Structure 1
Amino acid sequence: MSRSDQISVPQTARESRAFGLPGTLAQWWNALAVGACGLTVLVLGYQRRWTNDDALIYTRAVRQILAGNGPVYNIGERAETSTGTLWQWMLATGSAIPGVTDPLRLAVALGLLLTVAGYLLALDGTRRMVRTRRPAGALLPVGVLLLLPLAATWDYATSGLETGLSFAWLGGSWWLLVRARAALGRAAVPRASGPALPLAAAFVFGLGPLVRPDLALVSGVFLVAMWLMWRPSLRRTLSWACAAGVLPVAYEIFRAGYYGVLVPLPALAKEASGTQWEYGFNYLLNTLVPYCLWIPLTLLAAFAVRVLVLRRRRDPRRERSRRGPADRADALLVAAPVVAGLLSAFFVVKIGGDFMHGRMVLPALFLGMLPVFLMPYRRPVAVLAGTVGVWAVVCVALLRPPLDSPDSRLVFDSRTLYARGLGEHPVSQSAHTERHSGFPDAVRGTRRAGKHGLVLRLPYDAGFPVVPLAPRVRAPIAGAEARLGSAGAVLPLDGRVVDLLGLGNPLGAHTEPTSHRKAGHEKPLHRAWVLADLTAPGTPVPEGVEPRHVAAARHALTCGPVPELLASTRAPLTASRFLDNLTGAWSRTQLRIPAHPVRAERELCG
């Protein structure tokens, strides 16, 4: 038992019954509450297990790594398609274990287990936070009840994406921040054994941008909060900074030199540094309104106001005399996740949200509820927990998100759509490739015929013509498709996948946005660019594509910064190429090319 726990153990029978149960029974109750919440996530997440197309983007990169081709999507083209760097390498490590044949199934199992671990760590962190200030007693689940009933919570416990790792990192970071506060002791003086803990915490906090780039905001808030609690010396501050930055900085240097840009391609394709307030606000409402989340949020806000009013009624002089370093540390501990959650929500709204219902809002809700995941038993708390519990039961039984939004910016209940199209539990790669027709059929037919061709999805699903590839293209087959994940699963590892939305295409990611109908799908690549890049001059152009546009694209590919952009991803990775990529990464990241070939030719070639 840690010293902080020893301090809070009640010394009298009266104290032990302060929250309605004897000390031993209270401990059993608290363990049961934490376990029940974790079990709820496990059961509901497993019942709703699935994967979406974006999960297949990860697994193709993982298969390329295991095949010895490096962290790429296509052989001979260095493009970073994985937003969650740590998630990609965790899957690659797990898939290297003998007996693991489908990385997608591993992603489902690992995502679910990490989500459960994140909730358990978060709950235990809140339990420890309460115990450092009050005698041991019964704790009631309150804030966690706001997350458990949401269909989005169950859905993204799997999905094959990095969401499970995000929750594990958030819960683990909260647990470490609470432990770092406890290591100070009640006098807010570091213990003799304390310095190693904040150093480890700083290392874990620094992993945020490798879990997801936007989690760098949470990393910064937690690091600042811990620094303000401890007020360490300059030497210790530098050691914390080194621990927090060693992996992110090292990987950023690798990213810039290897890929030639400072962020993953999906961040460029989605213009993650842009501002689209209206779309982002609608996305936030698409999460809050279907579940009537305003009800529990209002109840919690009213309860917080009540607590503040009661505190202000005390003698102000007495309150000021009681305040000290320990109280300030406690306030920082409570404020850190709330501030991080607000910043996370602000960022999501600023960039215009996402097209997957609830996915990008869940971390903000999780962070904001952390200090009140569990609350010490009192009659007002019991009333609050009971009221939120009634809403939770109604939410589980009746409230579901709409299949898609009626707004101009589409937001989908992705899990339901995939279940309808691919079966209730599409958790294998074959579930995505064998139940789709059209593009997969065209690819299979081309491979059977032994053609060295490009399978091109025409606009508006007008067909899948096969165009001969240029002799210089070494890939045996290529495919241009809007569903990057399933295309990568259908095409062989030595085939060339061309993403028509820019998430995995170095040229498409650097074009200017032309569509605002669906978040992350704002850069549809003109087919003329694909034909100009992969076919020889004089190759017949399929119906639906203008020959003059292809000619303009061929010319534009030779002008301005475009040749160097393509060389940064396709030229052999020598030491000089790595250095050129590294030094030019900033300007290359800022580069944008007109989306239409004719305009691009005019602006780039004069």
Structure 2
Amino acid sequence: MTSTYSFGSSGVGTAEAGLPVDARAERWRTAARLGLAFLPALVVAVAGFQRRWMSDDGHIYVRTVRQVLAGNGPVFNAGERAESSTGTLWQWLLVAAGAPGFDIPTAAMYGGLFLTAAGFALAAAAALRLRGGDGLLLPCGALVLLALPPVWDFATSGLETGLATCWIAGAWLMLVTRPRAVATCAVLGLGPLVRPDLALVSLVFLAAQWAVARPPWRGVLAGAGAAGALPVAYEIFRMGYYGHLMPLPGVTKEASRSLWWRGADYLDDFAGTYLLWLPLLMIVAGLLASGRMRERVVVAAPVVAGALCWLYVIKVGGDFMHGRMFLPGLLLMLLPVFLVPVTRAWTIVGAGVAVWAVTCAAVLRVPYEGRIGPGGIADERGVYVHQNDARHPVHHTFAGQPGNMAYAGLVRERTRDGAPTLLLARSPVAAARPGITGVYNTLGFSGSVIPLSGAALDPIGLAYPLAAHSQPINGRVGHDKRLPDEWIVADRGVRGALPEGLDPKRVAAARRALRCEPFAELRAATRAPMTAGRFWRNLTGAAGLTAFRFPNDPVRAERELCG
């Protein structure tokens, strides 16, 4: 297939209709073709730079990276094996960036920007190869992406979104150019390591690769081995080291549940805000008018994968960050029309998309800009710009949030005192382990102010296994678990040291429950010294531990689990 396509003329002169073509003019046409094709990558880099920032969830990655570099392993808190990083590859890329001494938040911010721009460039390269010929190509799908404020915001943020953009575009480029290569299998198989839900994309792309290449059975085995080598190896490590089948946020956010109604609200919050149906309908009309595209399997693969990604996001109830979880799926669905040929139909469509894009970029915004909306969905960048009182927040200062500043001051004060302390919202009490144990909802911030030798716990459970396995309550998307203080005192406090207002009977019930199974096994899986026997026990018991949930009420939990 790859031999059918070409990036265009070599610029040394050709002949058309028996007439010579000036080599200089040919070079200018090629330069114009390439310049227009790669312009979106430059635009997204500029837009992302102008709105550069670090999210609180980005700082969750930062603490884990700091723990790795300090020799404590890939954990959020020393002494407790919890995988708080959803994007495995992103975490280890940040470890590589931090090893020479680079500032990790800064590396995360600019690394995401670079990978986003690289993803747009790779998408353009795939479009050039797919379209062939030497004529100009117009940005169409690229223009839809460039008009959306969430694309600008999550070009940085410190999260794995930039890596996802780069991997999706790079995987499709390899599917277009080298569908028969084993190296392509290896790249396509990386989806689960970029982000677990991108396993859907890997499966669809690998199926498309098989449909195009139709390898013999030995080739199928070789391709499967190449695609699965790293993901399977890491999954074995995850199960044995952490005792779970997925990163802990997947347990916390109940990644297998169905909340269709909430997901539909999340879709409307994104697509409705930007009238996204208008450019998508225009593009569908352009496709119908232009006839069938070549290489139908390759073209259909990203569309199917993107639709499945959107369906999954809707199924699990969406997310609390405006638009973020729909961006990979939207990129996938727009890849076949990222650039389009200059035909009459596509020129009309492109003009319509351009009018929408200008309107969207200039006017269309969520009504809760800079805040958390009534449905719990947040303009995440705007929130952290306000709370840090900084136009481009990178390191957590929270200069505009007095409560967070007070918490940071209390941490510094108790750290100087040196006494083992459990910092609860009610009042500090004696802790069972040395150092400071802080309990705070804003986990990235807490992790940035709590020393690496201490423990930063969140009652939501993003990095605290006990909280992650509690039953969900009716709360904000991604924040609908809340471990009561009784459990935290029973787990981390000194016996007899109770903060004011806490029921000692409920604390005692929690202490007794923690000695029963499967609580005892959960604590051993995440805290016991890592030995070969412990690894094997975690590996074989990971499915059961991942499925374990317990009631929030300690008395009820003791009654149900201890008999």
Deviation, 1:28, is: 2.0
From 511, 517, 522, the counterpart of 1:565: 522
What whole-Å deviation, never above 9, does each CA across 1:140-159 have from its counterpart, x for those lacking one?
Answer: 11111111011000000000
1:44 is matched with which residue? Answer: 47
Q: Which runs of 5+ in 2 are unaligned?
A: none
Asked if 1:548 is matched to 2:505, the reply is yes
SS of equivalent residue, structure 1 residue 429: coil
- TM-score in terms of structure 2 length: 0.94
Deviation, 1:396, is: 1.4
Instruction: Flag the 1:258–1:433 CA change in 2: closer, same or farther, 3 A.
Output: farther
Percent of aligned pairs with the same amino acid: 46
What whole-Å deviation, never above 9, does each CA across 1:411-463 have from its counterpart, x for those lacking one?
Answer: 111111111121344443343589632321221221233332111124xxxxx
Q: Which runs of 5+ in 1 are unaligned?
A: 182-194, 312-326, 459-464
Instruction: Flag the 1:434–1:467 CA change in 2: closer, same or farther, 3 A.
Output: farther
After superposition, residues 301-320 of structure 1 pair within 5 angstroms as 301-308=284-291
After superposition, residues 318-357 of structure 1 pair within 5 angstroms as 330-357=295-322
2:539 is matched with which residue? Answer: 582
Structure 2 Cα separation of the partners of residues 373 and 252 of structure 1: 34
2:236 is matched with which residue? Answer: 253
Contact conserved, 2:193 with 2:231, CA < 8 A, in 1? yes
SS of equivalent residue, structure 1 residue 282: helix
Structure 2 Cα separation of the partners of residues 124 and 434 of structure 1: 44
Contact conserved, 1:23 with 1:136, CA < 8 A, in 2? no
Asked if 1:400 is matched to 2:359, the reply is no
2:558 is matched with which residue? Answer: 601
Contact conserved, 1:402 with 1:413, CA < 8 A, in 2? no
After superposition, residues 404-415 of structure 1 pair within 5 angstroms as 409-415=375-381
Deviation, 1:121, is: 0.2
After superposition, residues 135-214 of structure 1 pair within 5 angstroms as 135-181=133-179, 195=180, 198-214=181-197
* Counterpart amino acid of residue 428 in structure 2: V
Deviation, 1:587, is: 0.9
Structure 2 Cα separation of the partners of residues 79 and 7 of structure 1: 47
Deviation, 1:292, is: 1.3
From 423, 445, 448, the counterpart of 1:455: 423
After superposition, residues 74-85 of structure 1 pair within 5 angstroms as 74-85=77-88
2:430 is matched with which residue? Answer: 468
2:349 is matched with which residue? Answer: 384
Deviation, 1:467, is: 0.5
Contact conserved, 1:403 with 1:416, CA < 8 A, in 2? no
1:243 is matched with which residue? Answer: 226
Contact conserved, 2:56 with 2:444, CA < 8 A, in 1? yes
SS of equivalent residue, structure 2 residue 423: strand
Deviation, 1:409, is: 3.5
* Counterpart amino acid of residue 142 in structure 2: V
SS of equivalent residue, structure 1 residue 73: coil
Count residues with an aligned counterpart: 553
Contact conserved, 1:114 with 1:168, CA < 8 A, in 2? yes
* Counterpart amino acid of residue 341 in structure 1: G
Structure 2 Cα separation of the partners of residues 552 and 7 of structure 1: 70
1:127 is matched with which residue? Answer: 128
2:442 is matched with which residue? Answer: 483
Contact conserved, 1:199 with 1:243, CA < 8 A, in 2? yes
Contact conserved, 1:422 with 1:432, CA < 8 A, in 2? yes
From 393, 405, 411, the counterpart of 1:437: 405
Deviation, 1:9, is: 5.3
Instruction: Flag the 1:6–1:468 CA change in 2: closer, same or farther, 3 A.
Output: closer
- TM-score in terms of structure 1 length: 0.87
SS of equivalent residue, structure 2 residue 478: coil
Structure 2 Cα separation of the partners of residues 240 and 476 of structure 1: 49
Contact conserved, 1:85 with 1:212, CA < 8 A, in 2? yes
2:388 is matched with which residue? Answer: 422
RMSD of aligned residue pairs (Cα, Å):
2.2
Structure 1 Cα separation of the partners of residues 91 and 365 of structure 2: 31
From 77, 86, 89, the counterpart of 2:89: 86
* Counterpart amino acid of residue 286 in structure 2: F
What whole-Å deviation, never above 9, does each CA across 1:373-405 have from its counterpart, x for those lacking one?
Answer: 111111221111111111111111111223279
SS of equivalent residue, structure 1 residue 227: helix
- After superposing the two structures, state which structure 1 stretch, 287-296 or 107-116, moved more: 287-296
Structure 2 Cα separation of the partners of residues 391 and 290 of structure 1: 13
From 27, 32, 36, the counterpart of 2:35: 32
Contact conserved, 1:279 with 1:409, CA < 8 A, in 2? no
* Counterpart amino acid of residue 62 in structure 1: V
Structure 2 Cα separation of the partners of residues 25 and 480 of structure 1: 62
Contact conserved, 1:139 with 1:375, CA < 8 A, in 2? yes
Contact conserved, 1:257 with 1:579, CA < 8 A, in 2? yes
SS of equivalent residue, structure 2 residue 325: coil
Deviation, 1:68, is: 0.5
Instruction: Flag the 1:307–1:7 CA change in 2: closer, same or farther, 3 A.
Output: closer
Structure 2 Cα separation of the partners of residues 406 and 87 of structure 1: 27
Deviation, 1:25, is: 4.0
1:507 is matched with which residue? Answer: 466
After superposition, residues 218-297 of structure 1 pair within 5 angstroms as 218-297=201-280
Deviation, 1:76, is: 0.9
What whole-Å deviation, never above 9, does each CA across 1:490-510 have from its counterpart, x for those lacking one?
Answer: 100000121110111111111
* Counterpart amino acid of residue 486 in structure 1: F
Structure 2 Cα separation of the partners of residues 447 and 16 of structure 1: 82
Deviation, 1:300, is: 1.2
Structure 1 Cα separation of the partners of residues 30 and 336 of structure 2: 19
SS of equivalent residue, structure 1 residue 361: helix
2:487 is matched with which residue? Answer: 529
Contact conserved, 1:202 with 1:243, CA < 8 A, in 2? yes
Structure 2 Cα separation of the partners of residues 354 and 16 of structure 1: 60
What whole-Å deviation, never above 9, does each CA across 1:543-597 have from its counterpart, x for those lacking one?
Answer: 3x32222121111111121001110000000110001000101111111111221
Contact conserved, 2:76 with 2:84, CA < 8 A, in 1? yes
Structure 1 Cα separation of the partners of residues 194 and 17 of structure 2: 46
Contact conserved, 2:389 with 2:399, CA < 8 A, in 1? no
1:192 is matched with which residue? Answer: none
Instruction: Flag the 1:168–1:16 CA change in 2: closer, same or farther, 3 A.
Output: farther
Deviation, 1:27, is: 2.1
* Counterpart amino acid of residue 162 in structure 1: E
1:113 is matched with which residue? Answer: 114
